[in-house]
Amino acid sequence: MVYPENFLDCIKSTLGEDFDDYMKYIEDEPFRGLRINRLKADERILEKLGFDYRKAPFSPDGYYIPNSAKSVGNHPLHHAGAFYLQEPSAMSAATALDAQPYERALDLCAAPGGKSTQIASAMQGGGLLVANEIVPSRAKILAQNLERMGAKNTVVTNARPDELAEKLKGFFDRILVDAPCSGEGMLRREPNIITEWQPQNRQICADRQLKILDSADEMLKFGGVLVYSTCTLAEDENEQVISNFIKSHPYYEIEEIQTQFGRNAYKRFAPDIDIEKARRILPPDGGEGHFVARLRKTADTGECYDFDDLKAENIDIVSQFLCENFSNFNGRYTTFNNFVQLVPEQLPKLKGIRIINRGVTIGELKANVSSRHTHSILRLCRANSKTHLI
């Protein structure tokens, strides 16, 4: 491929001494990978896939798969949610977030769901995961992927970051901002990026990224973790975004990422902060172009939110029946448009926010037909049960 001169000049200015190393890989095939979904499976599924695999450094559950592997997305275990197909280095951001089962986590720019499903797998059905996507069609795909992977502790929202921030000030323990970016790091996977690339897009993206981070800050509690990631090479959208964010929010500290991958971020683009604790990933490191920074909030900026009381009718008998007959349906029940839902315990009040999905829909209420009602619930529970596959 012939690359525009201004593109190569821009990349060389960014990468510096890493530029020649990068160019050696630019024509190679991109890496392919999968991630085991711990909500449904473990390493034993790998032997059932029929192709070679090797460990990837970006997640404990991530593996490289060969480019020769065909129709992996049509494999029954993929449809069943036992694994998620994902570019290996894209797993790094959720790994850096390190969400725990008892926490409240937010994936603020979540579609199509690779990072959200990874966070859900790490949380093991506990706590609360809010996965947000501003584009309606992409939000529906996000909800479908989370459902396929068996993530029952989730709420999928379709809102602007500032709209969520109005409802959830100081609510979350961990927030991931995988920010919309110029996408330079995905050139090997998406060659058409080069036809749309313009140097001014870097600054346009950086301005938008800072606004998203402002909203994330409002929603993060004191002591919480904020992970910022992109799939671009641009320092304008990486080191300099983090530098500008910390200048306007000086109560954040950059932390080391415990799982080691890639290389240090470039100190020359942010000399006044510990930016070298952030990580860059390039093809020589085993992935596509990514940037990941982990920050800790060290000041209390206050909380302002309400929990949803979820008033529901005719739910006691349904709850009792499900708890007695289905051990994996213990939890909090509510009704929505005559459907019975199992929802996360810590569900916040989100009036005015468009909700695509919340929890797991497990049955439909039928009026005045008690025996048929029971059998209807039973059939739907079997269809929606999140059984561990292996």
- How far is the C-alpha of 34 from the C-alpha of 87, rounded, in Å? 7
Burial class (CB in 10 A: 0-12, 13-18, 19+), 341: buried
DSSP helix/strand/coil, 214: helix
Residues in the chain: 390
- How far is the C-alpha of 50 from the C-alpha of 70, rounded, in Å? 10
Enter the tokens of residue 255: 């932390």
CA–centroid distance for 95 within its chain: 10
Q: Crossing angle for the helix pair 239-248 and 200-219, nearest 10 degrees? A: 40
8 A C-beta contact, residue 105 and residue 128: yes
Enter the tokens of residue 41: 């499976």
Q: Which of 231, 304, 323, 381 is catalytic?
A: 231
| CB-based contacts of 31, cutoff 8 Å, min separation 6 | 64, 87, 88, 89, 283, 286, 287, 288
Q: Is 231 a catalytic residue?
A: yes
Return the closest-CA partner of residue 263 out of 11, 39, 16.
16
Return the closest-CA partner of residue 331 out of 152, 129, 105, 103.
152
Q: Which letter does DSSP use for residue 185 in this model?
A: G
- How far is the C-alpha of 44 from the C-alpha of 388, rounded, in Å? 12
Distance set, CA 209 to CA 39, 84, 204 (Å): 32, 27, 9
* Cis omega (within 30 of 0) for bond into 112: yes
Residue 307 backbone phi and psi in degrees, to 5: -90, 145
Reading across the β-sheet that carries 360-364, which strands appear in turn?
A: 332-336, 339-343, 360-364
Task: Tell me which residues are annotated as active site.
Answer: 231
